[in-house]
A and B are shown apart, each in its own frame.
Chain A
């Protein structure tokens, strides 16, 4: 019965979009790209986690967070701490004055592992921390803000300030965090070398798998009554409040969920890129995440993923060719999206491509040679 429903759904229009995305990520990219480029796509996808969270939080609920980098960074740092401890075995660090602690601690005259690093010897603790640490900070921020009914621009500015504070804190506490260089030289995960091409390919598939888990959780939330309440709250907060809902608790929930998504993205980033640094925590990456989401379409989960892929691909292309122009390009892109197509690529797709789709079967009958095109290509 359940399985039947699932197959019915797969055959529906929405199911086909999910299948096409899965096809693109699981079959097309791994076949078409070399290991280096595939690893880059994997890196782009880690930002898609944060963008998915923003679709729920910003697009659906109207809570603009300019601080998703905080949670991305926390998730990433949790993973990096585990990997760093594994890379800092007494044998590997025998030349240090205190063997067995991470190299940057030794350089900063630390002689023992700080207490909050200790639990990161455990992989299961690390996996929980990747979710729990971002969620906990998000919970504290959300309770403090939403219970006091701070919202809109004020909330956005506060999240941005927290992103800035966290960056400064990480850079300042060099001995505990690796400072501005971040946590580098990560080698193995439970004895498995993550730097080889095979490992990177496998991690890419893990990343895609996790992304689909988040995508499905997000889609489930959007389809539930909670998703409709979030939308209602965005448009008429007072009406929802005076319909017997504790509005703050719904905002806290969605903000924590978005933080957890970003945390998973950060952890996948660390695993695939092999280091974590404050430059992925602060204001600039946080705003980039909002732009990814806006370009893809802030109301569309799938749009956010395509947005992350396309904008990051453009970023790589432009920074390779015209490094100094990229930031301007990003700014122009954001303004263009806000002014010209506020619903992003997903909105354009719905408006221009979907009507064609309904005509497609008829066209196919007329000329069998017209192949149906992937939405991603049309969305471009």
Chain B
């Protein structure tokens, strides 16, 4: 029943990265279908963040292939991967604190990405509309002209998600999007992710099992750089290996 290779938006095969002999990710394979929400869980040091680093090009793979919409990502530059349609949110909110919310989104808007293009870039009606639309999605319409440094932690996380959304990526990778958020903020974030996944494939790293259950289509459990278990949330919750290394503790 598994779809043929062409149907996967992301196909990771035999991915290995070795840091001085230590294999942080070891022969990992992972397949994502379009519009799927996949959550990666696992104990600390399992290599979850490293997988995202490998996909977005921050870390170069030692072996293996990452195919995204038929393109081999392991040979591409970081900005090339972004332009191919992969967006990545970091664990700690990385936003530009000295710029306003509007400017944060505008800098992320996918136009004027070359030196000349950036010099010639005009803030036209289309840009303003795109920024306002995204701002509404991420609940920041009211704060549009405030400095980003003044946002709360949760709002910063949303802003970074918004900065990805405005790039209209096909694959969104989020590293612990609800870490440090209040209960109310978590609820809103889950709601936000549901809106996002109508049009995007999403790969999320998360620890909060409640939140994982809320959003995930499928869950991949990683342990020591390998896939330990994969399937629906109920399936992995009952997997004795998963209980042993992760859930039991």
Task: Find the A residue at minimum CB distance from B112.
Answer: A225
Q: Which residues of B contact A231 (CB under 8 A)?
A: 96, 98-99
Q: Which of A236, A238, A239, A244 contacts B83 (CB 8 A)?
A: A244
Q: 6 closest A-B pairs (Cβ-Cβ)?
A: A244-B82, A226-B118, A225-B121, A239-B94, A232-B96, A253-B115
Task: Find the A residue at minimum CB distance from B104.
Answer: A232
| Interface members, chain B 83-132 (any A CB < 8 Å) | 83, 87-88, 90, 94-99, 103-104, 106-108, 110, 112-115, 118-119, 121, 123
CA distance A12 to B152 in the complex (A): 33
CA distance A228 to B114 in the complex (A): 13
| Interface members, chain B 22-72 (any A CB < 8 Å) | 56, 58
Determine if B187 is an interface residue (Cβ-Cβ < 8 Å): no
| Interface members, chain A 239-256 (any B CB < 8 Å) | 239-247, 249-250, 253
| Interface members, chain B 122-176 (any A CB < 8 Å) | 123, 160, 163, 167
How far, in Å, is B61 (CB) from chain A's closest CB? 17
Residues of B near any A CB (own CB < 8 A): 56, 58, 77-79, 82-83, 87-88, 90, 94-99, 103-104, 106-108, 110, 112-115, 118-119, 121, 123, 160, 163, 167
CA distance A253 to B97 in the complex (A): 23
Asked if B106 and A228 sit within 8 Å, CB to CB, the answer is yes
Asked if A242 and B88 sit within 8 Å, CB to CB, the answer is yes
Q: How many residues in A have their beta carbons less than 8 Å from beta carbons of B?
A: 23
Asked if A225 and B106 sit within 8 Å, CB to CB, the answer is yes
Q: Which residues of A contact B87 (CB under 8 A)?
A: 242
Determine chain A's interface SS by DSSP, over half rule. helix
Determine if A221 is an interface residue (Cβ-Cβ < 8 Å): yes
User: 24 A-B contacts, Cβ less than 8 Å apart?
Assistant: A221-B119, A225-B106, A225-B112, A225-B123, A226-B115, A226-B118, A228-B99, A228-B106, A229-B107, A231-B96, A231-B98, A232-B96, A232-B104, A235-B96, A236-B96, A241-B78, A242-B56, A242-B58, A242-B82, A243-B108, A244-B83, A245-B113, A246-B79, A249-B114
New A-B pairs, 5, CB < 8 Å, besides A225-B107, A232-B104, A246-B77: A226-B121, A229-B107, A242-B58, A244-B167, A245-B113
CA distance A235 to B77 in the complex (A): 21
Asked if A226 and B82 sit within 8 Å, CB to CB, the answer is no
CA distance A225 to B109 in the complex (A): 11
